[in-house]
Structure 1
């Protein structure tokens, strides 16, 4: 078994394509993808904030403050004259204007006597345009001014003003520590990333060790060797599992390294402080829980590779597995699903929930019994099926 493992691992290390998927892809491509997403998102937000918005205003004579505030910012807003009876929706969809303000005739009256006043803002809010936020900044300034004028007319002190604005407030007293707060935000995404990386890293060697051997004609040489079939399977299985774990660890380490290099000093301090809160035992447990998970992936992938007639057919089978891997993680992210009751015994979902709890520091360590038991049972059953599959000549030589 170990002889097969060493042999397969040496062949993988000689294969440039496999090394690319296991090392180069995690170290370069995934950080590049995340960096590109952050870069383009930041640029899109910046462009939306700096874009000069074309606008039209109907009833400008009823509020000189708003019309003047818009006119005083030519680097942000450009006024377009329109017919007051035009179809506003058509003008906005045709991109003649980005938004239209409609000020009613009763605007500017005494709010103490007539109550609050409303201005209609017509816009297309389906995309990232920040029209509402940018216009609301101007309207909010006017609203604050009207509010202060009204308080002055009533002769209210600052304390009385605050009492009227917020007569009863609910003060938040969060008993969760910083680690739990951060863990709740990012802990759920950790298994999402690691599961996909383990599967992705194991796919390339799995397709090669089964279907690839069929195409090269080397499978027959292995089968006529005096070694028992189960040892052949276990050697290939260990190779695939080791490749999956290696790929996941390289990717996570690469993301952490790139994050430290590209982040600002404040961000590094926050990341370092958060990582320091997580004990080494929790890191070890996260890694140990990956072992039966990778065993499940490796057994399924090897079974599919043995069944497939060609390398291409094996890849098509394996690509559909991503859906089945994502489903347990999505369930773990669902509100109300916690690591308790029957969820402790649901394979993959329980591991995703446990990783989140370990990052948060709220792990019930007794739940590890159910997690390791259920996941290990599934893994052993799949390995047994893989050995059974490998012993069938009609499967090997389809």
Structure 2
């Protein structure tokens, strides 16, 4: 079935999102308000009967000097990825529409899971000297659907982002994430699924008197101070406070439950903070921050447990701790974070990854050369 793709209103897009158990928080209309350097377009897929059969948030970023734009659909679009006519019936109309909006390259992230590893499998892989990457470990489950989707994309001219050595343009969502399933489990079962160290740390925080509260927009400044300390300690470039204020205002204007802020304190000092995002039955731990002071009272474990408990109480099916490293080397600075997430007893989840389609191959190639030059000079 070939669909017609056209620009839809925010409300039409949001109605489509509300009708589903969940979609990525990067595919709700308000996310376009967060990314101020991009021009957001809500797209709708319409079948022959005129009913909407899919939706997506496309972010277009004009490239100076050429009058054309990059188009990006992070963790989207939301369409039937099992459709045998995926390429011509769903994706070709999208490409034609985005070309009409001035795009020279389209990048998307199909929300299709390819493999899963249980917490025990990940733990075994970390301890196995022969396993250098998560991909070296045998997955607990493998989804053949993902392989079929990948084959359809390749045959239609799509390619994995960065294939060919350019690294793709400077975007990208994590391909591997860590998720804690909550559906069908009592909170006691979830707590019993934590590893021994996690349970011990949660109890230690409770005995030490760590308090976790839900904050408001006025507390974003406190969060950001901890976030800056975290960035300096862990060596990443922090986002400005204005970014988080924009997130708070845009997402909560769309839905008051879309974004929440949690703060953990001890003896009146805030030691850790985190943002939580919710779309339908899916909850994400989005940004986290902490100080190196008083780590012995385990504020991060207390913070996460409160967020997991609240997600469970609100009926979430999954608590998503977002990106993890694929590298299992002991010298990888992100390995400690992976161990922390594995302690929840959840599972590592690998998606199909991001894919690109060059609508204009000369412009796409020229842009890749430009990026490669900037990386060498930087």
With normalisation by structure 2, the TM-score equals: 0.21
Higher helix share: 1
Relative CO higher for 1 or 2, CA cutoff 8 Å, sep ≥ 6?
Answer: 2
Name the one with the larger strand percent: 2
Structure showing greater Rg: 1
TM-score w.r.t. length of structure 1: 0.20
